[in-house]
Structure 1
Amino acid sequence: MDEGSTSHSRDLVLRHPTPDECVKIWTATAESWGDTLPFSLYLKESQYLTTIPLAKNGNRTDWILVNKNLPPDQRPILSSCETFRKRSLTSDALGNITESIVHGIASVFCHPDYRSQGYAARLMKELANVLPTWQLKTASPCVGTILYSDIGKSYYSKLGWHPNATNLHIEFAPKISNSETTAILEEHLEGLCQRDEARVRKLMAVPSKDIARRVTIVPDVDHILWHIKKEEFATEYLFGKIPHAKGAIIGEPGRQIWAIWTHRYYDNPTSSSANNVLYILRLVVESDKTATRLPLDAGNVQMEHYDEQLNYLKAVLKAAQAEAAAWKLNCVKLWDPTPLVRKMVMESSVEHTVVEREEDSIASGMWIKGFMGVYFDFGVSMLVTIGTIIDFESADPIGETAKV
């Protein structure tokens, strides 16, 4: 095999796929990531997801690894992926906040004909060189890149994306029940996300003697809508309708608790082996002091109105369970809860299971010089990160499979 046909060849470069090459990629990935959608609808969904706000204005970029000497639409696509440019916040030990950029890497894929030849690794190495300066349209610097691995911790760690120390989530069974919560509708999302961002900024401004730098992705409405627009393709196909509630909220401003969720159908709900999920994309407890994620605040789980807040959380979780039951989902998943939320869940009467993920949806990050050792709040990012098909839904965050 000559040098031009190996993953080490100098002729291999990153390029952006043509429209026809995008269709080739989606055709190849349909079996793995099409979930319940028929092929034609998966292609339609894939095209549509390039047009919604999170992907527009250059925020999404499609990448392919190809031989630079071959013409577009005739060159083999040796490996491919997508990246999403995300607004993020960085703070120092004094709580000074600066605007920054983090790139999320998603949909890493290698056609079966080219697997086990090092092409996916070459793609990732090329990306590591390009992304730190990619599309910096503002003065905000890029501080790093993130991904979610569904192939364990070692593969991407060897390439420089090191796994988060913990990858924990809590699972709840679907259950029909009444709830005192109010449904969150699509028109409510922007206002809630703006409040959430303001809250995140306050949390990032808390000084820390233990952590020199912190980074978090802004949980804006564009991230939430990506998941919601994706779910609409599946629910319209399966049920002929789309979900009315995008989440649940309870309480008065200042002491409110709300959850925003998305319905994900990996399998047909009529299948006995279905493993479909209601993902809680964001759980906000306004009075949660442990949401700073700082070590010194981890034990700060006492608060005024604790019993009220515990009942509010139970009501929101029950609303999520009821939503899962109504839409034939097999479980509810809450990723990376804060110390306070974990304590309240443990003290609630809501049955649950705590899971530490070792192989799938492993949050991983690579940080540029000056940000090595940074504390990254995956509690925000993993649930607003689009399906790192090394996971990236998910996004998403959320559960797809890397094909490398």
Structure 2
Amino acid sequence: MKKIRKATKEDMDSIYMMGFDVWGGNMSSEKYIAICQESSKYQKGTWYTLEDLNTKELLSSLIVYELSPSEDIIVKGIGSISTHLQSRKKGHASLLIKEVINELEQKESCNHFFLYSDIGADFYSKLGFIEIPYEKQKYKDSVCVYYSQSYDVDSISFEIPNYF
């Protein structure tokens, strides 16, 4: 059985290590964790994790940022999606993304979600994300995708957020 929950302070080093093989470069794991712990970017958002209740292992994680461009529009950014190497390709990240979006839609009436992907849009399109049109993309190495059950990407009347 798996459970999605907000991450605790005690979870963070394990969460940071989920992305070490991709984002750690040539640094030691200790240095990588120290950089993550000091990151103002990582302290700005709310971290969520998918936990295996039987083993207590954290399987996947992501961070959610507040991006609301005005008082009457609720916009969130989803980032730093990662899964432990041995747990990849088992649907953990997909489940986490879907459930976090569902929770934010229900509890906060949020209906605009952006995500910058370094792996392309295909993975996220299977979850209902739509690639922002090329002329509105802000970066060449990361593709911005959008998710909403209520709004079409062409109806967005606010600026696409910068990388978060």
How does the TM-score come out when normalised to structure 2? 0.81
Q: Deviations over 1:240-293 (max 9, x none)?
A: xxxxxxxxxxxxxxxxxxxxxxxxxxxxxxxxxxxxxxxxxxxxxxxxxxxxxx
Q: Given the alignment of the two structures, is residue 367 of structure 1 paired with residue 148 of structure 2, yes or no?
A: yes
| Structure with bigger gyration radius | 1
The whole-number CA distance in structure 2 between the counterparts of 1:378 and 1:153 is 21
The whole-number CA distance in structure 1 between the counterparts of 2:26 and 2:4 is 31
Report how far residue 99 of structure 1 moved. Answer: 2.8
Any residues of structure 2 matched to 1:126-275 within 5 Å, and which? 126-134=99-107, 136=108, 142-166=110-134
2:12 maps to what in 1?
22
Q: Deviations over 1:321-354 (max 9, x none)?
A: xxxxxxxxxxxxxx37xxxxxxxxxxxxxxxxxx
Q: 1:167 to 1:41 in 2, by over 3 A?
A: farther
Aligned with residue 91 of structure 2, among 118, 123, 127: 118
Q: 1:167 to 1:115 in 2, by over 3 A?
A: farther
Give 2:146's aligned amino acid. G
- Which of the pair has the greater relative contact order for Cα pairs under 8 Å at 6+ separation? 1
Identity %: 25
Q: 1:48 to 1:159 in 2, by over 3 A?
A: same
Report how far residue 51 of structure 1 moved. Answer: 8.3
Report how far residue 164 of structure 1 moved. Answer: 0.9
The whole-number CA distance in structure 2 between the counterparts of 1:154 and 1:28 is 21
The whole-number CA distance in structure 2 between the counterparts of 1:106 and 1:122 is 15
Report how far residue 61 of structure 1 moved. Answer: 1.0
Is contact 1:104–1:147 with CA below 8 Å preserved after alignment? yes
Give 1:49's aligned amino acid. S
Q: 1:43 to 1:105 in 2, by over 3 A?
A: same
Report how far residue 363 of structure 1 moved. Answer: 0.8
Q: Given the alignment of the two structures, is residue 61 of structure 1 paired with residue 46 of structure 2, yes or no?
A: yes
Q: Deviations over 1:26-47 (max 9, x none)?
A: 1332332235755434322322
Report how far residue 166 of structure 1 moved. Answer: 0.7
Is contact 1:363–1:378 with CA below 8 Å preserved after alignment? no
Structure 2: stretches of 5+ with no match in the other structure: none
Report how far residue 19 of structure 1 moved. Answer: 2.5
Q: 1:161 to 1:41 in 2, by over 3 A?
A: same
2:2 maps to what in 1?
12
2:21 maps to what in 1?
31
The whole-number CA distance in structure 1 between the counterparts of 2:153 and 2:41 is 35
Report how far residue 361 of structure 1 moved. Answer: 1.0
1:256 maps to what in 2?
none
Give 1:77's aligned amino acid. L
Is contact 2:46–2:63 with CA below 8 Å preserved after alignment? yes
The two structures, once aligned, show a CA RMSD in angstroms of: 2.9
Is contact 2:132–2:146 with CA below 8 Å preserved after alignment? yes
Q: 1:51 to 1:365 in 2, by over 3 A?
A: closer
How does the TM-score come out when normalised to structure 1? 0.36
Aligned with residue 109 of structure 1, among 82, 85, 88: 82
Is contact 1:167–1:362 with CA below 8 Å preserved after alignment? no
Any residues of structure 2 matched to 1:92-103 within 5 Å, and which? 99-103=72-76
Aligned with residue 62 of structure 2, among 81, 101, 115: 81
The whole-number CA distance in structure 2 between the counterparts of 1:16 and 1:143 is 20
Q: 1:127 to 1:150 in 2, by over 3 A?
A: same
Q: 1:377 to 1:164 in 2, by over 3 A?
A: farther
The whole-number CA distance in structure 2 between the counterparts of 1:166 and 1:367 is 19
